[in-house]
Amino acid sequence: MTSNQTTDQLTVGIAQIAPVWLHRDKTLEKIVHYVQQAGKEGCRLVAFGEALLPGYPFWIENTDGARFNSDIQKEIHSHYMTQAVQIEAGDLDPLCRAAAEARVAVYLGCIERAHDRGGHSLYCALVYIDAGGVIRSVHRKLIPTYEERLAWATGDGHGLRVHPLPPFTVGGLNCWENWMPLARAAMYAQGEDLHVAVWPGGLHNTGEITRFIAREARSYVLSVSGVMRNRNVDPGVPHYQTIVANCPEVMANGGSCLAGPDGEWVVEPCVGEEKLIIATIDHRRVREERQNFDPAGHYARPDVTKLEVNRTRQSTLAIID
């Protein structure tokens, strides 16, 4: 192997795991363990699924979640809020320390209880932590999907950012944001050539779009999903018996995978098991495929079509002292 080949390569980890559902501390312990394992395996990036910390709101569609003013929904949501991540309070500090010790960058899907929006609404956030343990971006999902809107607020463009991870430039989107052409275009235009798509879990989500985005972007696309079964529900969750009785045995079957810049599989979808998937990718393949199509470069026409992105963190308050 030549030195040029060595510098072109990056080893990545895809952590397809289940949460200890709606239990932040126990789930965080599990995430830290996988970061440590990824470091031992030589990974320089490890990614986790959407809303993994403390968990996706699977109860909504299984417990009459759209019923207005329901005491059951209020009690579960209140618990969800107590288990959400408050970044300003240091809830992710153990993960930041683990990333720094392992020298591994991390993409993590979490539920953020945002202090800058009053602290009582929840956002589906994708957090990027660099290999030095520093949080570099927090992207709040632009539009929660369908029943998610009963639990999550709408985000903003502040986190639509990419990050250097030599030899790649990495960026990411939450779940169905990956279907939004302009959100994808915003990442491409910033030089993204390794795209991380996070999902709550499901081959039905990842099986087709992973390869499509890779082909469109001429980039590597890493799709990471969670897995979730009834047995992952923490018994301390309010209305535990009702939730378990109404949810199917398998709520998320994984489907994590990795596609190359030609749209072909590097790692085919993995279904039904918790696993740290490890792969080595080569930037040379990006450069080869960009020869005939570069969506933000020689195949773009900014004189005809151009995208404007507002990356201001949205707030209801502007204080002038």
Tokens of 313: 């963190």
Q: Indicate the pTM of the whole model.
A: 0.96
Q: Is 239 helix (H, G, I), strand (E, B) or coil?
A: coil
- What digits encode the pLDDT tens for the residues 136-158? 999 999 999 999 999 999 999 99
Least Cα distance to 63 among 251, 296, 293, 274 occurs for 251
Task: List, as one string, the DSSP characters of 114-175.
Answer: -GGGTSSSEEEEEEEE-TTS-EEEEEE-SS--GGGGGT-----STT---EEETTEEEEEEEG
**Selection from 129, 128, 126 nearest residue 101 by Cα:** 129
pLDDT given at position 1: 41
Per-residue model confidence as pLDDT tens digits over 197-239 = 999 999 999 999 999 999 999 999 999 999 999 989 989 999 9
Task: Tell me the mean pLDDT in the region 170-185.
Answer: 98
pLDDT at 4: 47
Residue 234 confidence (pLDDT): 87
> Residue 11: pLDDT band by 50, 70, 90 thresholds?
very high
**pLDDT tens, position by position, 288-321:** 999 999 999 999 999 999 999 999 999 998 899 9
Q: Which residues, at least 6 apart from 47, have a Cβ–Cβ distance to it below 8 Å?
A: 12, 13, 14, 15, 106, 107, 108, 172, 196, 198, 222, 224
Q: Which amino acid is at 119?
A: G
Whether 107 has a pLDDT exceeding 80, the answer reads: yes
Range 169-190 average pLDDT = 98
Catalytic residue list: 50, 141, 175
Sketch the domain layout of the chain as residue ranges.
3-289
Q: Provide the token pair at 303.
A: 């004189």
| 152 and 109 Cβ atoms separated by less than 8 Å | no
Q: Under CATH, which number does the domain 3-289 receive?
A: 3.60.110.10
